Amino acid sequence: MNASSVPLQQPPALSSPESLSELLHEVAGGRAEFTDLIASLSPLICDTEALTPPMALAMAVTLGEIDRQSRDGDQAHVLVDRQSAPAVALLGSGVVAAANAAARQLFGITPGESHEALGINRAAFHAFRSRLFEYQGPSLLKVAPLQIGQPTLVMVGSYQQDARIFLLTVLQHSWPDSIDRALEDLFGLSLAEREVLAGLAQGGSAESIAAQRQRSLGTVRQQIKSILQKLDARTQVQAASFAAAAANAVSESGRSSDRLQVLESSTLTTGELTREGRRVGWRRYGRVGGHPVLLLHGPFFGVGEYEFERQLSAHFGLDVFAVERPGYGRTDPPMPQEDAVQCQVEDILLLLDRQGLEGIQVLCHDIAFLPALVLCERAGERVHSLTAVSAPAPLTPGMPLDPMPVQQRLFISAARHTAWLVRLLIRLGMSQMRKLGPERWIEPIFGEVPAEMALLRTPEFACGLPGAYAFNLSQSALGFEMDVLLTARDWTETARALRHPCTLFYGSENRITRPGLTSRLAELNERYVLRPIEGAGQTLALTHCETILAHLASERRDG
């Protein structure tokens, strides 16, 4: 999405729903400039009456098509959807990034849940990652039954470097007739031996296979010995892996895993609440039982995606809780007619009640500053203090947007006029993000800020981008859409009304949330204390994570 280029010819006029749909597809496919679209839609920006029902319908239908096309190009979804057996994609933190229909039905999981929803505990997942690192090839995971009576499952997994995910596929205990005949023709396996091999592929022991087939243990052991000889396999695990590869016929599982850096991972746990029929996801990391910190995340960096932020939180004795804000991760959007900010605050208050949290320190990023302010007003004495990172000041009507990057100006201008245009811009941007993939999806956001983009490409910070990618795009970027609309609000009075101490960290080189905007807050309320960080930008939450968390710890001690 090249928002800064200049169209070489007059952009097409949107005289009909068909012409609008055509232009949307042209931009989504990279065959037309993003600025062409903005120029063509200018009548809608200036006159909301120009968005007639037929034009609105054309826009909605086309956006739905773009969403489906972009999902089809998402690497994690493509990988799991290729598998005939139940398959899931796990991020390095253990969070589910994608699952095919068979896995969703088998495990009852959805993206955003942790590996524990699969029956894989933390130790088992870490051991699996260690095997991939040490032996540079696919490995196995035993999936403990989640309910009494369920059979134990075995999954074969590999690390997919391009998508930055762990691809896990359930070993099937049966295979097509063509594979069955090949096992007979090529290796001379009898029908009984093929049935025993299927039991091994399912993770069964000689004892369980004997009981299932109503054969003596000695007979089954002799059949296993014969299978190993015919397959030229040294162990039952080798035979089971071979059978799984034949059953699934998945080339990806046979690929060598790319080299991994395996660290002793600090815990990231996930949970869910239900409020008035809505699902609300939440996460927790740091030191369990430590000083309670409530994180209101921003739109760019996810929640707990980085090992260093989890470890630093534990180091400083902070027990970090984060409610996934509506439209991000697993949290459903607000109910019809429910205000987006009040919805977030109600979700958070429910978590505080369920966890019995009092005296919390609130930490917020970016536009989450607005719901954090409202939470402080609603929660009163339950809040100890507020710390905001890269917080924007309210944009009053008529405030010039010229200092902002071009793309940001377009989003805010659209939000000042019509939500339809915001949705259009975000969907087209999301389409491009999916094409770029988990490692490069952030480029349309930080592309106009080369210094920040260079930082995000370094191994230290690039490792968390796949998790943030799944977290942001899981609901077709609905959370970001709502955040853009919040940015366009004038919430000056809410900022003036704060009664809690508030520290504002901001980067002196931030081109997205300009330092001048943040410093304006100090003019509204004397409780705001400015903490500029020289040389930092919008990535301040990552680059100076230790400084921010150390501040929270010292604030608690001093308070």
- Quote the CA–CA distance of 19 and 36 in Å, as a whole number: 13
- Contact (CB, 8 A) for 359 and 484: no
Q: Tell me how far apart the alpha carbons of residues 79 and 163 are, in angstroms, rounded to a whole number.
A: 9
CA-based end-to-end distance of the chain: 47
Q: What integer pLDDT is reported at residue 501 of this predicted model?
A: 93
**How many domains, in total, are found in the chain?**
1
- Whether 287 is covered by a domain: the verdict is yes
Helices (H), 262-404: 307-315, 340-355, 369-379
pLDDT at 29: 62
Q: Please name every residue paired with 280 in a beta bridge, in sequence order, or none if there are none.
A: 273
pLDDT of residue 59: 64
CB atoms within 10 A of CB 452: 25
**pLDDT for the residue numbered 316:** 95
Provide the pLDDT for residue 209: 83
Residue 298 lies in a domain: yes
CB-based contacts of 190, cutoff 8 Å, min separation 6: 184
Contact at 8 Å (CB) between 351 and 322? Answer: no
Is 281 inside any structural domain?
yes
Mean pLDDT by 10 residues, the chain (559 residues): 39 64 69 64 53 63 60 70 81 84 80 84 86 77 64 78 81 63 82 82 76 85 89 77 59 36 60 89 93 95 91 94 93 89 96 94 95 94 94 77 63 67 74 77 82 90 87 84 85 93 93 81 91 93 96 84
Does residue 18 lie in a domain region? no
Q: For residue 488, what pLDDT is reported?
A: 79
HEC string of 74-125? CHHHHHHHCCCCCEEEECCCCEEEEECHHHHHHHCCCCCCEHHHHCCCHHHH
Concatenate the DSSP letters of all residues of 273-303 into one string.
Answer: EEETTEEEEEEEEE-TTSEEEEEE--SSS-S
Taking CA 517 as the corner, what is the angle to CA 512 and CA 518, rounded to the nearest 5 degrees?
Answer: 95
Domain extent for 333: 266-393+491-559
CB 263 within 8 A of CB 126: no
CA distances (Å), origin 133, targets 164, 244, 389, 433? 14, 21, 36, 29
pLDDT value for 7: 39
What pLDDT score was predicted for residue 257?
35
> Minimal CA–CA distance to 204: which of 146, 159, 158, 243?
243
CATH number of the structural domain spanning residue 353: 3.40.50.1820
Report the alpha-carbon distance of residue 389 to residue 551 in Å, rounded: 12
In a domain, 479, yes or no: no
In a domain, 40, yes or no: no
C-alpha to C-alpha distances, 169 to 151, 157, 158, 274, nearest whole angstrom = 16, 6, 9, 30
Nearest 5°: phi and psi at 114?
-95, 170
Whether the CB-CB separation of 18 and 58 falls below 8 Å is answered with: yes
**How many Å apart are CA 419 and CA 529, to the nearest integer?**
34
Task: Flag whether 544 is in a domain.
Answer: yes
Question: In the prediction, which pLDDT does 258 show?
Answer: 35
CA distance 542 to 309: 8
Angle formed at CA 198 by CA 123 and CA 84, multiple of 5 degrees: 75
| DSSP classification of residue 504 | E
Asked whether residue 380 is domain-assigned, the answer is yes
Pairing of strands 383-389, 360-365: parallel
Residues 388, 522, 511: CA angle, nearest 5 degrees: 60
Q: In terms of residues, how long is the chain?
A: 559
